Amino acid sequence: MRSGWLHRVATTVCRRPDGRILVHRRPHTVSRFPGQYNWLVGGAVDVDESYESAAARELVEELGVRASPTFLFKYLCRGAISPYWLGLHEAVITDELVVDPSEIAWHEWLTLDEFQEAR
């Protein structure tokens, strides 16, 4: 990524069974997108790792939950840092979150209406 090479990223939209969507804010101390709000949880896909495995790993690392993300689609994104293939997933989360404070400073489950208003 530092060299601007094409890489892969796996992201997940997290929902509760009632449809609420997880929204979070990144800490102000991180190097990428400090203080920004997001509704996607994710990160880089390792060499020889599938998008689905990377998405599941990121849920454990960032939210402290085990889930089976459903792959939706991937597309080529001309990112601000470098180009990447983005694999988008969705997961229904029923467990309580144990967020990694180095990754997530604040989080909340929003209804679809609350999400649309915040957007």
Sign (positive or negative) of CA dihedral 60, 63, 69, 75: negative
* Res. 46: pLDDT tops 90: yes
The span from the CA of 87 to the CA of 77, in Å, is 10
* Res. 1: pLDDT tops 70: no
Q: Are 58 and 41 in contact (CB under 8 A)?
A: yes
* Res. 85: pLDDT tops 90: yes
Say what the pTM is.
0.90
